[in-house]
Amino acid sequence: MRKIIRIELTIKTSRYLGRKQNEVNLGRDPRTTWNTSYRTLAINKVTAALRQMAGKRERCMYCEDSHGTQVDHFWPMVPYGNKTFLWENLIWVCSGCNQKKGNRFDLDEQGNPLLIDPTSEEPWDVLFYDPETGFITARYDLETGLENPKGAHTTKADVLPLNIDVVTDGRKRTQRNLRKAVHRFLDRIVQHNNLEKAQSELIEEIQDHDDYGLVQWYFLKDGRDNPPFRELRANYPEVWERVLESIR
């Protein structure tokens, strides 16, 4: 998972969503209203905005593995019809994640969702990546020694397919490619001593492998203490800064 920045809709599209939500609030069935709106030009604009948010490969916002193909209502339409057309409630997902999630939506004791919403929170704040297995797991609270409840719930096998073999293999492949990119940079510096060129090649390679939120893990979060990212940060702080600027 990675943090997704939600973009703003045009006034016209926002007004359309507001009108439709009003119909549901006045008693129209949320699912029927959503289904009959789905092929309209206005909802096309909504899905286009979600695809744009998902990035150039239009990956599912939950697993970051499969191509996103459909809209998920983060708070399910049943029983949360009052959020059916709420822009902040719409997520771009693959069919596997949508099917697995279904209408299941657990809340904590305060009534807050236990599932991570990647468009409103930083998933790596509650998740941890294990480079050995390619799994994402709950982060442990250092003070209490307990698993973060959101991280634990989101990574459960019966909630979302985040740790199935194809996904963990994909993460490990991306991790290898990111490590190779940094190693190549370090080698190029020694061989050619052309910092400018090596730096732009490094940034290009990192962008080519910006998958699964691992670029954020290795450059912004705990992964930066792993080799060879640690060496890059310690020995080439200016290059490290350029990389951070390129991924923000």
- In the complex, the residues that contact Zn ion under the rule CB under 5 A are 60, 62-63, 66, 94, 97
Q: How far is the CB of 63 from Zn ion (least distance, A)?
A: 3
For tokens 């509650």, name the residue: 126
Q: How far is the CB of 50 from Zn ion (least distance, A)?
A: 13
Closer by beta carbon to Zn ion, 59 or else 139: 59
Closer by beta carbon to Zn ion, 70 or else 177: 70
Q: How far is the CB of 168 from Zn ion (least distance, A)?
A: 14
CB burial of 174-197 (b: ≥16 within 10 Å; e: otherwise) equals bbeebbebbeebbebbeeeeeeee
Q: How far is the CB of 2 from Zn ion (least distance, A)?
A: 13
- Of 116, 114, 115, 112, the C-alpha closest to 124 is 116
Backbone dihedral angles phi then psi of residue 7, each to the nearest 5 degrees? -90, 170
Can you give the C-alpha Rg of the chain in angstroms? 20
- Looking at this protein, which amino acid is placed at residue 223? G
Closer by beta carbon to Zn ion, 66 or else 89: 66
**Cα angle at 245 between 162 and 132, to 5 degrees?**
30
Closer by beta carbon to Zn ion, 63 or else 243: 63
Closer by beta carbon to Zn ion, 30 or else 118: 118
Q: How far is the CB of 187 from Zn ion (least distance, A)?
A: 36
3-state DSSP call for residue 73? strand
